[in-house]
Amino acid sequence: MSQKPMKRKPNVQKLIRDRNAKRCARERYIAECSALREDMIKLRAKLQLLTDNETVLPWSEVAISMNLATEESRSEKKMLQAQLERCDRLRGHLVQWVQSMTTVEPDVMSDVPWKDSTLPQEDAVRNVGLQWFAKQMYFATERHIKPSLFPKGTQDFIFAECTTGGSIVRVQKIVPGSLAQVTEVLWTMMVRHSPAFKTLVRETSDHEDMWYARKPVNYEVRCCLHTKFVEDDRSLVAFRTIKNDLMYSSEDHSIKEDNQEWTSVQPLEGSRCLVRCASFIQPYKTYKSFVDYARDVRPEVYAQVLGATTSDEEEKQLAELLHKRLFDLASATGGQLEAACMSGGGVPIFKLEGEREMPAEALL
């Protein structure tokens, strides 16, 4: 007889574990469903609140605003690209402009060579060029008015040197008045109005001033740049001629000299100021003798020695006359500055014996 298979006894512990696992899974499912229902209720409530709020824009208006913002961004991008192209063109013009100015070798004027001055016709380059010249004058002040070039203390001082390659004058003067008052007098001496002056550019701010004009200098009509810088403990007033302003090149073909001048004002005790000035003049041509120089550049001085018997005597007399002229101009200008400060800013016109009237604005 065949034997019947024996039935296995159920694993009670496994059944209990499975039942507990199913119960836990069901409880988690119910908890998650409940949490989702609560989140849905909260989101519906928030959506309803936002929908009922009058400050919320309709989606159509939001889309329109985004479209406008996109168009504005595109327009700004095009504008910036055009501005970048203009700046790049300006940079190229400025590089060409600086490279076009040849270096002037120093003579008696300075131990550092400087660039010949040229101003182009393009408005953008002219404006930047004038600012460049102004800053160049500002940063050159320390080199030309350093304390070692002037006596220590507060005594008045005049130094004048004249050669065939150029002339230099240094002046130290103590004048009455505050820093602001003396600076204003100096600036007025530079830029006061006259029928003979033609203002080309004028820019003014709280601490800087620039005036570019055509005016008589040493009996020649020149393009002149005047700058003023006011600082807490000093002020600087600078002046230079522009040799080649291409807008007036046809009118300036007879110009023979370059002028540059730096003046610093420092306050002292007792409502006084220390004024130091360095003024330079350099002919564009090279001359072998004072006779050649005076005959070409200073005919009014050369006329005073026509009676000399020998060339050596003529040369000696011209050297003395030119040096005396420099010294007299420096002395007269210093006196006029002191008188103007004492009188409250009035600036007269002085005239040396045998010469035409000229402004007391520059030492040379």
Among the listed ranges 48-52, 71-75, 177-181, which one has the minimum average pLDDT value? 48-52
Q: What's the whole-number mean pLDDT along residues 25-42?
A: 90
Q: What is the pLDDT of residue 53?
A: 64
- Is 287 exposed, middle or buried, given 0-12, 13-18 or 19+ CB atoms closer than 10 A? middle
Res. 55: pLDDT tops 70: no
| Of 2 and 156, more confident | 156
Res. 111: pLDDT tops 80: no
Residue 91 in any domain: the answer is: no
pTM of the full predicted structure?
Answer: 0.67
Residue 154 in any domain: the answer is: yes
Res. 239: pLDDT tops 60: yes
Residue 18 in any domain: the answer is: no
* Domain span holding position 160: 127-343
Residue 258 in any domain: the answer is: yes
DSSP class of residue 262? E
Q: What is the pLDDT of residue 236?
A: 95
Residue 15 in any domain: the answer is: no
Q: Which of 161, 175, 80, 65 is nearest to 363 (CA)?
A: 161
Euclidean distance between CA atoms 356 and 350, whole angstroms: 9
Q: What is the torsion angle, in degrees rounded to the nearest 10, for the CA atoms of residue 204, residue 187, residue 257 and residue 161? A: -140
Res. 274: pLDDT tops 50: yes
Residue 302 in any domain: the answer is: yes
Residue 21 in any domain: the answer is: no
Res. 36: pLDDT tops 50: yes
Residue 320 in any domain: the answer is: yes
What is the number of structural domains in the chain? Answer: 1
The CATH number given to whatever domain includes residue 325 is 3.30.530
